Structure 1
Amino acid sequence: MGVHLKRGPIAEVVIDFPPVNAVPAAGWPAIAGEVTAAGADPETRVVVLAAEGRGFCAGVDIKEMQRGPGHEVLLAVNRGCAAAFAAVYDCAVPVIAAVNGFCLGGGIGLVGNADLIVAADDATFGLPEVDRGALGAATHLARLVPHHLMRAMVYTCRTITAAELHRFGSVHEVVPAADLRDAARAVAAEIAAKDPVVIRRAKEALNGIDPVDVKRSYRFEQGFTYELNLNGAGDRARRKFVEDR
């Protein structure tokens, strides 16, 4: 249980918070730390970000947030998510997200900042934030789908399949779930075979020409989550989610 780093030319960072990979407050900085450590290792050429269990990531642990006093957990989660998403984006080498099952909320923040996505044929992607009384990661969803679809997904909380994202070019490859990790490593091996100095500079160059500052954009979104908590809407939505479960 937790976040695990397996070092090597193709490093693996694996998320493992059973039963559904709803990541607790302490889990987000752990993801950030392991991704950053992997990229900082001069032996690393590619990082594969994967998960154990039924799904890649169910987002933040809403139940933990409701159990915590005041806004301490919310503040820790928001800072942790920002750090984890930024670590994927800023990682010195390409990051390949290997997505199984569901990828929701904070999971979108992780994969939206990844360099490539390989997905299982059962994978679905979505932002249920509106139903949870929060906002955020539309910045990252906008990197995966066209603008008006992004808006529709935010407002309705509908999900989209890996096959649909593959048609947009957002998902590099869709494979049977049993083959997911091998398929991600195969793409990683193709990149790892290139000159590592050139690949690291390519990552830096591609980040430098991005039209949107993803870190600042995401923090702007988070400001509305704070507002929703101050006016009580956030707590109402989270309480309903916990009670319905």
Structure 2
Amino acid sequence: MGVSTSSPEKGTVLVTVDFPPVNALPVRGWFELADAVRAAGRDPAVGCVVLAAEGRGFNAGVDIKEIQTAGPGALIGANQGCAAAFAAVYECEVPVVAAVQGFCLGGGIGLVGNADAIVASEDATFGLPELDRGALGAATHLARLVPQHLMRALFYTARTATAAELRAHGSVWRVVPRDGLRAAALELAAEIAAKDGRLIRLAKAALNGIDPVDVRRSYRFEQGFTFEANLSGVADEVRGTFGKGSRQSSQRRESRRSGESGKGGADE
């Protein structure tokens, strides 16, 4: 459990996140991830990094239970850790390919939005449930995945988009069956790593240099509003209902299904 690093192919490093049950990372997890990605990028023998995860989903964001129980220090740590991990992916000296399966939520959007390429499984979904969790942030990164108005609608509603939808917008390189995800991501990474390592590093720096938005500054600006929400007490109120809304929604859906199954005639 935690963050591990391996070298499945020459020139490629695989950084794997594993924090059961849903890969909601604690404060230390974000910093461990940042350190692993930066270390991989500094290795002159590495030409590409693949960021992957074990389990049902790629990333469920921060560990809200840790924030609820550990107090303000945990919130500050989570914000700093997320900023560090997102920046590590973006500033990694070589390209980073994200291999995304299942859910990619909250902080997961920050990671893949800052990656250089995304390979996703057919069951992958992407979204920011921040407003339902008493937080803000990572709209900076969602805006790198979808057009502006769709980003806003997804953010305001806390809805998700599928891997197929993101591929249609050009932000996902490939959508593959889940059992072929890791191989597809490593295949792309190997193609990148086969290039001259010196030129790849120059290319990464050049492409970052022409980005229209300073993602680090933009994300830190968003985080300021998260602190405002916490200081005002709004965030605690919303986080206090965490989990209750989803259970109530499930109960309402079940009630509707039960009611519909009891209908007859033309409604069937």
TM-score, normalised relative to structure 1: 0.98
Secondary structure of 1:216's match?
Answer: helix
Secondary structure of 2:27's match?
Answer: coil
- Spell out, residue by residue over 1:99-146, the C-alpha distance to the aligned partner (whole angstroms, 9 max, x if none): 000000000000000000000000000000011111000000000000
Identity %: 67
Taking the TM superposition and a 5 Å limit, the aligned residue runs for 1:1-245 are 1-7=1-7, 9-69=11-71, 71-242=72-243
Q: Distance in 1 between matches of 2:244 and 2:184?
A: 39
Secondary structure of 1:241's match?
Answer: coil
- Spell out, residue by residue over 1:56-101, the C-alpha distance to the aligned partner (whole angstroms, 9 max, x if none): 00000111110113x1000000000000000000000000000000
CA contact under 8 A between 2:44 and 2:197: conserved in structure 1?
Answer: no
- Spell out, residue by residue over 1:127-172, the C-alpha distance to the aligned partner (whole angstroms, 9 max, x if none): 0001111100000000000000000011000000000000111000
Q: What's the CA shift for 1:242?
A: 5.0
Secondary structure of 2:203's match?
Answer: helix
CA contact under 8 A between 2:11 and 2:194: conserved in structure 1?
Answer: no
CA contact under 8 A between 1:46 and 1:93: conserved in structure 2?
Answer: yes
Q: Distance in 2 between matches of 1:183 and 1:242?
A: 35
The CA RMSD measured in Å over matched residues stands at 1.0
Q: Distance in 2 between matches of 1:167 and 1:81?
A: 28
Secondary structure of 2:118's match?
Answer: strand
Secondary structure of 1:23's match?
Answer: coil
Secondary structure of 1:164's match?
Answer: helix
Q: What's the CA shift for 1:9?
A: 1.3
Q: Which runs of 5+ in 2 are unaligned?
A: 248-268
Q: Which runs of 5+ in 1 are unaligned?
A: none
Q: Distance in 2 between matches of 1:187 and 1:47?
A: 10
Q: Which has the larger radius of gyration?
A: 2
CA contact under 8 A between 1:63 and 1:242: conserved in structure 2?
Answer: no
Residue of structure 1 equivalent to 2:250: none
Q: What's the CA shift for 1:6?
A: 1.2
CA contact under 8 A between 1:62 and 1:242: conserved in structure 2?
Answer: no
